Amino acid sequence: MSDIFIRVEGRAGRITLQRPEALNALTYEMVLAIETALDDWRVADIDLVMLDAEGDRAFCSGGDIADMYASGQKGDLDYGRQFWRDEYRLNAKIFEYPKPIVSFLQGFTMGGGVGVGCHGSLRIVGDSSQIAMPECGIGLVPDVGGSLMLALAPGRLGEYLGLTATRMGPADAIFSGFADAYAPEAVWPDLKAQMILTGEIPQIGGPAPAGVLQARLEDIDRHFAGETLGDIVRSLKADDGEFAQTALKALNRNAPLAMACAMAIVRRLRSASSIRQALDQEFRYTYRSVAQGDFIEGIRAAIIDRDRSPKWAHDGPEAVKEIDVSQMLMPLGAHALNWEEMP
């Protein structure tokens, strides 16, 4: 079985991720295959594009980063950079696509899965949906255009979700702007069949099971409005409540430099008008991330040795200096993303 199944059915172009044993993690070949299909379907006789995945555990748990680790260990900086260039171009194409794109987001939708599944016209979640941007846990910033969604989330949710990697159930994903509609997963086959037959987007109603983020927004805004990452940490330390202490534990686990840069990117994008601005900011960090070292160490600790004890470049969130953030987010000049390749 191929990792991805691309075909036209009725009025729909269909893309199904088929790596359920790997939680449908995206390989480089899958990224290129999705882009090729979208390019072909711009002028094809279809009305919409449908994205879904096999298995009940995940729509897409992220990018398959084992190859990035292997290349980084060899000192090869080019493989990761090319992967991100092509992946980010795909993310922009999904966001800007001229035909409706509908995604069905069961189980885990994280990292690279957000970039494929959460930039379309209709993003459907069900009871099993868990959406998150966990990149800071492996030394990266929320990328694949996710930083724009974080920037546009209510209040200081963007900082909170990006720095803590908190998982969102269906109601929270809708509230935060990562999804549009809830439908019980038992009716998904009927929804798909209707769209394939008619090429039209159906009305999907009904509230999702209650979430938690809206009720926590006051605490989130109070603690995550600090000017620096250190300010946020100090605010959380001063509050012995369960919410603050849980958030503080998350911040103490994740890569300090990645969190400080993620915070800076989210705040820069609050006035953004295009996903390309977000991808440009993200690429400044990811381009430099393999050489900087936290990313390779994060992968080692999470998926290679699985000791969950990464040795980050900074001793803690309060150790990151403004110059450290500036160096990671400086313009890339001739190495920046080339949007001339876009339609």
pLDDT digits (tens, 9 = 90+) for 182-196: 999 999 999 999 999
Instruction: Give the 3-state secondary structure of residue 228.
Output: coil
Check whether residue 188 and residue 249 sit in a common domain: no
Residues 103 and 182 in one domain: yes
Is residue 249 domain-shared with residue 182, that is, in the same domain?
Answer: no
For 220, the domain range is 137-164+212-343
Q: 86: Cβ–Cβ under 8 A, 6 or more apart, which residues?
A: 28, 31, 32, 35
Neighbours of 260 (CB within 10 A): 27
Do 318 and 198 share a structural domain?
Answer: no
Task: Examine the domain organization and report whether 238 and 118 are in the same domain.
Answer: no
Q: What is the pLDDT of residue 73?
A: 84
Residues 255, 312: Cα–Cα separation, whole Å: 6
Look up the pTM and report it: 0.96
Work out the burial of residue 287: count CB atoms within 10 Å of its CB; fewer than 13 is exposed, 13-18 middle, 19 or more buried: buried
Q: In the chain, which residues have pLDDT < 70?
A: 1
Residue 251 is which amino acid? L
CA atoms 46, 50, 51, 53: torsion sign: negative
Distance in angstroms (rounded) separating the CA atoms of residues 188 and 171: 17
Res 289: pLDDT: 95
Percent of the chain with pLDDT over 90: 90
Same domain membership, residue 239 and residue 256: yes
Q: In angstroms, rounded to a whole number, what is the distance separating the alpha carbons of residues 31 and 67? A: 14
CATH classification at residue 108: 3.90.226.10
8 Å CB contact between 93 and 86: no
- 205 and 218 inside one domain: no
Same domain, yes or no, for 206 and 295?
Answer: no
The pLDDT value recorded for residue 67 is 82
**For the packed helices 242-253 and 157-164, what is the interaxial angle rounded to 10 degrees?**
50
Q: Is residue 47 within 8 Å of 66, Cβ to Cβ?
A: no
Q: Are residues 182 and 248 in the same domain?
A: no
φ/ψ of 131, rounded to 5, equals -110, 135
Residue 98 and residue 88 in one domain: yes
Distance CA 215, CA 16 (A): 35
3-state SS, residue 112: helix
Single residue among 180, 210, 240 that ends a domain in this structure: 210
Q: Are residues 66 and 178 in the same domain?
A: yes
Which strand ranges, in their side-by-side order, compose the sheet holding 58-60? 58-60, 108-110, 130-132
3-state class (DSSP) for residue 89: helix
Q: How many domains does the chain have?
A: 2
- Are residues 271 and 226 part of one domain? yes
From 210, 232, 267, give the residue that closes a domain: 210
Task: Provide the pLDDT for residue 1.
Answer: 63
